[in-house]
Amino acid sequence: MPLSDRRLALSPDAPDAPGAADDAVTPAPKPAKRTKTGGVEPAEVPKKPAALPKTADKLAKLGLKSDIDLALHLPMRYEDETTLMPIGELIPGDNAQTEGIVFENEIAYRPRRQLLVKIRDDAGDELTLRFLNFYGSQVKQMAVGVRLRVRGDVRGGFFGLEMVHPALRPVDDDTPLPQALTPVYPSTAGVSQAYLRKAIDNAVGRVSLPELLPEKIARTYLQPLNVPGLLDAVKTLHHPRADSDEPALVDGTHPAWTRIKFEELLAQQLSLKRAHEERRTRAAPVMPRRSLHEPDSLVVRFLGTLPFRLTGAQERVCAEIAAELTLPHPMQRLLQGDVGSGKTVVAALAAAQAIDAGYQAALMAPTEILAEQHARKLRGWLEPLGVTVAWLAGSLKTREKRAALEAAASGVAQLVIGTHAIIQDAVEFARLGLVIVDEQHRFGVAQRLALRAKAQNAADGARDFQPHQLMMSATPIPRTLAMTYYADLDVSTIDELPPGRTPILTKLVSDARREEVIGRVREAALTGRQVYWVCPLIEESETLQLQTAVETYETLATTLPELRVGLVHGRLPPAEKAAVMDAFTRNEVQLLVATTVIEVGVDVPNASLMVIEHAERFGLAQLHQLRGRVGRGSAASVCVLMYAGPLSQTARARLQTMRETTDGFEIARRDLEIRGPGEFLGARQSGEAMLRFASLENDAWLIEPARAAADHMLREFPDAVTRHLLRWLGAREQYLKA
Ligand code: ADP
Ligand code: MG
């Protein structure tokens, strides 16, 4: 009867006898605690010692190593076992609890081996319980004459109402019902709810959970929230009282939840802010700003030769970056600006400041096409001013590569531009002082760290040395997200496009009108404009995607013999890729058929028409990036989103968003709405990994008070900060140090 034993022991009014299972949940490393609370004598070792380490291991895997861990392992949802439904009132589709006496118990063999147990309640109504997997002990547990309390999904079976594999326990006719909701805990396979409940119950009974928030903080930030004390909140969540606001417990808005979420968000903010402060203690190269009266300054000469005037927004972010580069602490700044807002020139100016100060700068981009284009652009700007630029990519011939490596290692190369190739082991820098990462969200944390680590030579003996880092992104992050994900980054935002851009008109066109679209392409090309044709994304198979691109290219080339058509995709040998892009840049190719390799950064201002096939398959950010390839010159641009129906609801929402707005911030906001924050940024690089209870979607309103409290605590109560972080994040805080 192990099942019934456990379930009985769980009910709140059952005597809390420290027994075998109790002991098992407190793993070996904590003996002192057990003796202190004094409950257990040596004789009471577990009855089945072999099972002990296994379950403790599994608990440890859930992160449950101490009583506090267990007490803070809060329910993910609740089950309502407070009421019994008469069998006669059950309706197929319900999840319900009912009770009856077994009057039949048989193993049937058709259509397959199964246990059929029938119960009848006091009113005489019957319910079949069906078990496809079962043990002999279960057959006995449900012997004829036993009263069973069962809970599960009601189905209309062949022989009347049934439940398949219901949760059940034998009861007496006076066994009380739980008075309140039953918690359901996050678990892994092998740790049953019953076991967890008991383990947690015991822990909550033993644990003292002192308030760690200083009185002043509690008064200022908690009191207005009207939330209970911590231990009180924890107890309420594990054992809701019969009179609690059940819907609020279930949907997470109960004051007890608010209390917990606040604590957690506070921990997250503290952690992020501390990482930010810690940066101030590390050393970085000082790069003084050269004044306009120093004509030999690269920055000054560069500005003098720039073919356009910086926008106000560009000037502002340049000033923010320039000022921070003069400090002896590493900059860690995110430069966000919509597609086409002109981030490259801002990066070039930062690089020039580093070079002026005698340091090297490195610029890493996620694709070879983009890196190549940066190289071309920055060379065009800086080489005439005497700067040596090196190019590093996977596709280089051995001899060229050796030359580039030498130039970086000797310091001859003042600016090194490339792809991931820059972070390979063989690459060394003489005096790397500034690291620039374009489209930073395309890189993992590890890759950014690897680039940062290349700077050791520039340390001049300084310990904890870091280069300055400038990360660029065209995927703007809404404010609440920025506060939680990037609280340890400083953010500069370009919120203005260079003048003279004409807005892009976006059209949604069913792919049934493909011929018509091809006609438009011909017309546009013949009037001197250039066109992108983006091939469908085929996520399941790169080969298929490639094949589609080649076929699309061939059909379009045949259908449009009067046009010069080019093809670019990820598998093209780099030299060919570069040749095609070059030809397109020089307007020798009028129609460029492309896969998403052109998604990031490609800049050909004369291109003013883009067709995206199967636009419904792309994500919003991707569509926005793609569309950003047009609208860069003075000609009015058009983006045709061709789609194949039927459209899913989210695909429709995405396409409509694209038609309605070209504002990257608005698109990011809607994208967040459609997808939720986890997917939006990829949890990998985010502070969300620290959140178990609070959700950025539902609890955004708590972020601001948590942030304010974090600032206050860091200022006045540094010891409380440490204790709070230990309790709520423990080892997980390390995760964020990247
Ligand atoms: P993104 O922010 O998407 O990386 P780019 O840096 O590629 O944008 O800039 C887009 C285009 O705008 C480039 O051709 C660039 O030379 C041009 N550009 C940048 N700043 C200005 C400006 N202030 N005035 C005119 N054109 C500019
Ligand atoms: Mg760019």
Distance 294 CA to ligand 1 centre (A): 27
Quick one: pLDDT at residue 241?
82
Pairing relationship of beta strands 147-157 and 167-170 according to DSSP bridges: antiparallel
Question: What's the whole-number mean pLDDT along residues 670-675?
Answer: 75
Quick one: pLDDT at residue 458?
67
Quick one: pLDDT at residue 485?
61
**Residue closest by Cα to atom 4 of ligand 1:** 343
CATH code of 83-177, in short, is 2.40.50.140
Distance 338 CA to ligand 1 centre (A): 11
Q: Which ligand is nearest to the CA of 336?
A: 1
Which CATH number is 504-661's, of 3.90.25.10, 3.40.50.620, 3.40.50.2300, 3.40.50.300? 3.40.50.300
Candidate from 193-207, 658-672, 721-735 with smallest mean pLDDT? 721-735
Percent of the chain with pLDDT over 90: 44
Q: How far is CA 177 from CA 2, 84, 90, 180, 347, in A?
A: 20, 8, 18, 9, 67
Distance 597 CA to ligand 2 centre (A): 14
**Residue closest by Cα to atom 15 of ligand 1:** 342
Atom of ligand 1 lying closest to residue 339 CA: 3
Q: Of 341, 441, 471, 585, which is best to mutate to test ligand 1, by the most ligand atoms within 8 angstroms of its C-beta?
A: 341
- Domain locations along the chain: 1-75+196-204, 83-177, 298-494, 504-661
Provide long-range contacts, Cβ within 8 A and 24+ apart, for 604-607. Answer: 604/530, 604/629, 604/632, 605/632, 605/633, 606/529, 606/530, 606/633, 606/635, 607/529, 607/530, 607/531, 607/532, 607/632, 607/633
- Which tokens go with 553? 């290219």
Q: Residue 4 pLDDT more than 60?
A: no
Q: Which ligand is nearest to the CA of 344?
A: 1
Quick one: pLDDT at residue 679?
52
Atom of ligand 1 lying closest to residue 500 CA: 25
Q: Residue 42 pLDDT more than 70?
A: no
**Residue closest by Cα to atom 14 of ligand 1:** 603
Q: Which ligand is nearest to the CA of 340?
A: 1
Distance 553 CA to ligand 1 centre (A): 29
Q: Of 311, 343, 345, 379, which is best to mutate to test ligand 1, by the most ligand atoms within 8 angstroms of its C-beta?
A: 345
Distance 367 CA to ligand 1 centre (A): 19
Candidate from 29-38, 449-458, 501-510 with smallest mean pLDDT? 29-38
Distance 450 CA to ligand 2 centre (A): 22
**Residue closest by Cα to atom 1 of ligand 1:** 340
Q: Residue 1 pLDDT more than 70?
A: no
Quick one: pLDDT at residue 217?
94
Per-residue pLDDT band at 49 (split at 50, 70, 90): very low
Q: Residue 170 pLDDT more than 80?
A: yes
Question: What's the whole-number mean pLDDT along residues 202-224?
Answer: 92
Per-residue pLDDT band at 144 (split at 50, 70, 90): very high
Quick one: pLDDT at residue 735?
40
Could you give the 3-state DSSP secondary structure of residue 611? strand
Quick one: pLDDT at residue 603?
79
Distance 426 CA to ligand 2 centre (A): 27
pLDDT in tens, 332-356: 898 998 888 899 999 999 999 999 9
Distance 497 CA to ligand 1 centre (A): 8
Candidate from 269-273, 311-315, 684-688, 707-711 with smallest mean pLDDT? 684-688
Distance 628 CA to ligand 1 centre (A): 12
Q: Which ligand is nearest to the CA of 376?
A: 1
Q: Which ligand is nearest to the CA of 497?
A: 1
**Residue closest by Cα to atom 5 of ligand 1:** 342
Question: What's the whole-number mean pLDDT along residues 258-271?
Answer: 91
Atom of ligand 1 lying closest to residue 605 CA: 14
Q: Residue 518 pLDDT more than 60?
A: yes
**How long is the chain?**
738
Q: Residue 16 pLDDT more than 50?
A: no
Distance CA 337, CA 340 (A): 8
**Residue closest by Cα to atom 26 of ligand 1:** 498
Atom of ligand 1 lying closest to residue 628 CA: 3
Distance 81 CA to ligand 1 centre (A): 63
R_g (Cα) of the chain, nearest Å: 32
**Residue closest by Cα to atom 9 of ligand 1:** 342
Distance 486 CA to ligand 1 centre (A): 25
Distance 22 CA to ligand 2 centre (A): 59
Quick one: pLDDT at residue 14?
31
Q: Of 308, 369, 417, 473, which is best to mutate to test ligand 1, by the most ligand atoms within 8 angstroms of its C-beta?
A: 308
| Spatial contact of 202 and 22, defined as CB atoms under 8 Å apart | yes
Q: Which ligand is nearest to the CA of 439?
A: 2
Per-residue pLDDT band at 601 (split at 50, 70, 90): low
Q: In CATH terms, are 83-177 and 298-494 the same topology?
A: no
Distance 361 CA to ligand 2 centre (A): 17
**Residue closest by Cα to atom 19 of ligand 1:** 342
**Residue closest by Cα to atom 16 of ligand 1:** 342
Distance 686 CA to ligand 2 centre (A): 22
> Exposed, middle or buried, 6 (CB in 10 Å: 0-12/13-18/19+)?
middle
Distance CA 603, CA 605 (A): 6
Single pTM value for the model: 0.67
Quick one: pLDDT at residue 327?
94
Q: Which residue did the predictor score with more confidence, 53 or 58? A: 58
Give the strand order in the sheet containing 389-392.
389-392, 415-418, 360-364, 432-437, 468-473, 332-337, 490-494
CB 48: neighbour CB atoms within 10 A? Answer: 10
Q: Which ligand is nearest to the CA of 607?
A: 1
Distance 625 CA to ligand 2 centre (A): 10
Q: Residue 46 pLDDT more than 90?
A: no
- Helix residue spans in 306-397 (DSSP H): 312-325, 343-356, 368-382
Distance CA 117, CA 146 (A): 11
Q: Residue 420 pLDDT more than 90?
A: no
Atom of ligand 1 lying closest to residue 343 CA: 2
Q: Residue 687 pLDDT more than 70?
A: no
Q: How far is CA 731 from CA 56, 63, 70, in A?
A: 19, 10, 15
pLDDT in tens, 475-485: 766 665 666 66
**Residue closest by Cα to atom 12 of ligand 1:** 342
Atom of ligand 1 lying closest to residue 311 CA: 23
Question: What's the whole-number mean pLDDT along residues 508-512?
Answer: 94
CATH class for the region spanning 298-494: alpha beta
Q: Residue 229 pLDDT more than 80?
A: yes
Atom of ligand 1 lying closest to residue 310 CA: 23
**Residue closest by Cα to atom 24 of ligand 1:** 498
**Residue closest by Cα to atom 13 of ligand 1:** 342
Atom of ligand 1 lying closest to residue 337 CA: 2
Question: Over the chain, what is the mean pLDDT?
Answer: 82
Q: Residue 91 pLDDT more than 50?
A: yes
Quick one: pLDDT at residue 444?
65
| Spatial contact of 568 and 598, defined as CB atoms under 8 Å apart | yes
Distance 342 CA to ligand 1 centre (A): 3
Contacts of 27 (CB under 8 A, 6+ apart): 56, 59, 60, 65
Q: Residue 29 pLDDT more than 60?
A: no
Pocket of ligand 1 (CB under 6 A): 308-311, 314, 337, 339-345, 474, 498, 601, 603, 605, 632
Question: What's the whole-number mean pLDDT along residues 489-518?
Answer: 89
Question: What's the whole-number mean pLDDT along residues 391-413?
Answer: 91
Q: Which helix (H) or strand (E) holds 483?
A: helix 479-485
Q: Residue 590 pLDDT more than 90?
A: yes
Per-residue pLDDT band at 693 (split at 50, 70, 90): confident
Q: Which residue did the predictor score with more confidence, 382 or 542? A: 382
Question: Residue 103 carries which DSSP code?
Answer: E
Distance 343 CA to ligand 1 centre (A): 7
Question: Residue 465 carries which DSSP code?
Answer: B
Percent of the chain with pLDDT over 70: 84
Question: What's the whole-number mean pLDDT along residues 431-442?
Answer: 86
Question: Residue 131 carries which DSSP code?
Answer: E
Q: Which ligand is nearest to the CA of 601?
A: 2
Atom of ligand 1 lying closest to residue 377 CA: 16
pLDDT in tens, 183-200: 888 877 677 888 888 999
Distance CA 265, CA 227 (A): 15
Candidate from 81-90, 95-104, 696-705 with smallest mean pLDDT? 696-705
Q: Which ligand is nearest to the CA of 600?
A: 2
Q: Which residue did the predictor score with more confidence, 531 or 621? A: 531
Atom of ligand 1 lying closest to residue 346 CA: 6
